[in-house]
Amino acid sequence: MSAIGELWSGLGKAVQGKAGARAPVPTLRYFEDPTVAQTAADEAHRLWLRIAQKVQGGVWFYQAREQVLAEEIPDIGKAYGRPVASRVEKAVQRMEPCDLPAAATAAVRAGNQAAARSFLRARDGRVSLINRLSLAWFGRHFW
């Protein structure tokens, strides 16, 4: 074996420990404070209910979400700290309109149908049978 090979082999054994055995590799573990996770979950749920109430009141989902976040995140950061506030903000921003409670979804659907009926009454003076059926079944007017 050449000198470079012996050096390389010796370095390898020195790094690996006795008789070529590998040294234990330390594993990185992340332990978080369970109160941070629980507080963030509780606050995210509370904000989600406020967003659902606003949507049920007729506000567009994304507008309601941004309004609630703008109002609440600074207060959450002051009360619980930045880790909780950032976690709540990320959790709420990942939620979609399809995740809204059934009552809020029904209110949005009813509001859309009422707007379509008022549009049809303004345009045609009445809501035809086909449009009434289409609104009831699909939530949209036919023509």
Residue by residue, pLDDT tens for the chain (143 residues) are: 566 666 556 556 655 555 555 555 556 665 667 788 899 999 999 999 999 999 888 888 999 999 999 999 999 999 999 999 999 999 999 988 888 888 888 888 888 888 888 888 888 888 888 888 888 887 777 77
Residue ranges of domains in the chain: 31-100, 101-143
Chain position carrying tokens 């370095």? 11
Q: What pLDDT is recorded for position 67?
A: 95
pLDDT, residue 87, reads 93
Query: Angle 129-138/102-124 helices, nearest 10 degrees?
Result: 160
Q: Count of CB atoms within 10 A of residue 87's CB? A: 20
The pLDDT of residue 44 is 93
| pLDDT for the residue numbered 20 | 56
pTM across the whole model: 0.62
C-alpha–C-alpha distance, residues 100 and 56, integer Å:
10
Q: Is 18 exposed, middle or buried (0-12, 13-18, 19+ CB in 10 A)?
A: exposed
Q: How far apart, in whole angstroms, are the C-alpha atoms of residue 116 and residue 17?
A: 77
